[in-house]
């Protein structure tokens, strides 16, 4: 069984424990946090963006996913990411 990691969404300060390699969008759904996801997480609309505090905990965005970030958001990358990013298997 995969280890679980805790994700905290602020606001509304909801916590959920999910298995590693769960996407941020999936974690949000499990935590009952309403994130904009027009395409349902297919990577097409680019609307599911969040700011991540622990950037070491998530996978890197692909160039395809980075296309959905504005230049201002890219300047703040990796803190601003698409919610398709997954929680890393191994954290230090
Ligand atoms: S919901 Fe469309 S790219 Fe994330």
- State the pLDDT at residue 17: 95
Residue 53 forms part of a structural domain = yes
Number of domains in the chain: 1
What is the whole-number distance in angstroms between the Cα of residue 39 and the centre of ligand 1? 5
Tens place of pLDDT per residue across the chain (92 aa): 778 889 999 989 999 999 988 989 999 999 999 988 898 888 888 888 888 888 888 888 888 888 888 888 888 877 777 776 676 654 33
- State the pLDDT at residue 91: 38
User: Best mutation site among 27, 36, 41, 86 for ligand 1, i.e. most ligand atoms within 8 A of its Cβ?
Assistant: 41
The closest-lying atom of ligand 1 relative to the alpha carbon of residue 41 is 1
| Structural contact between residues 73 and 47, judged by C-beta atoms closer than 8 angstroms | no
Residue 92 forms part of a structural domain = no
The CATH number of whichever domain residue 51 belongs to comes to 3.10.20.30
Residue 63 forms part of a structural domain = yes
- State the pLDDT at residue 88: 64
- State the pLDDT at residue 86: 72
Residue 67 forms part of a structural domain = yes
State which residues form the domain around 14: 4-82
Q: Minimal CA–CA distance to 84: which of 33, 22, 32, 30? A: 22
Residue 89 forms part of a structural domain = no
The closest-lying atom of ligand 1 relative to the alpha carbon of residue 46 is 3
Residues with CB under 6 A from ligand 1: 37-39, 41-48, 82-84
């Amino acid at each position: 069984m995969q280890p679980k990691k805790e994700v905290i969404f602020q606001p509304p300060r909801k916590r959920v424990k999910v298995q590693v390699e769960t996407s941020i969008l999936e974690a949000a759904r499990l935590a009952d946090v309403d994130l904009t996801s027009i395409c349902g997480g297919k990577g097409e609309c680019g609307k599911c963006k969040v700011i991540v505090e622990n950037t070491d905990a998530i996978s890197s965005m692909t160039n395809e996913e980075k296309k959905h970030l504005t230049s201002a958001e890219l300047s703040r990358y990796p803190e601003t990411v698409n919610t398709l990013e997954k929680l890393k298997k191994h954290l230090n």
